[in-house]
Amino acid sequence: MMVIAYPDPLVEAHGHRPGSPYVERVWLSALGPASTWLWTRLARVAANQPSVVIDMADLAASLGLGTELGPNSTISRTLSRMVWFDAARRAGDTLAVRTALADLPARRLARAPASARIAHHHLAARPAFPSTPEPVQINDAVAL
């Protein structure tokens, strides 16, 4: 399989790189351990090489996912999970992998365990200027 970087300048500038505490403590609870390890390995490769052909059987075996490559194999399901969570995009035999992950989306964060939500609160990337101002309570009225 050909692995390339999935370009997204905003996420690359403000997101969470492989091995970061946010990926380990927040994304892991949503993505799962096999997909997190696979994303970590492939994101590091994609960040360092413009494109590279990966032996998927060897990659799967190196992650403890067996060597089968069929559509229902562990590595195929793990890749599908990465795509489902938008950590990668696949087109045929090419896999575009994000080199950083954004903060976990609110809908997924709402279903995350309490420890992941607490970690998110402490580790999330915060924009310098919020897109929506927080309401301010003035007497009995709310102002933006």
Amino acid at 111: R
The two structure tokens encoding residue 43: 């994101």
pLDDT on residue 139: 52
Which residues are paired to 2 by β-bridges? 53, 94
Question: What tens-digit pLDDT sequence spans the chain (144 residues)?
Answer: 999 999 999 999 999 999 999 999 999 999 999 999 999 999 999 999 989 999 999 999 999 999 999 999 999 999 999 999 999 999 999 999 999 999 999 999 999 999 999 999 999 976 544 444 444 444 554 444
Contact, 18 vs 38, CB < 8 A?
A: no
Distance CA 44, CA 98 (A): 9
Distance CA 77, CA 31 (A): 12
The continuous run of DSSP H or E covering 35 comes out as helix 33-48
Amino acid 143: pLDDT: 40
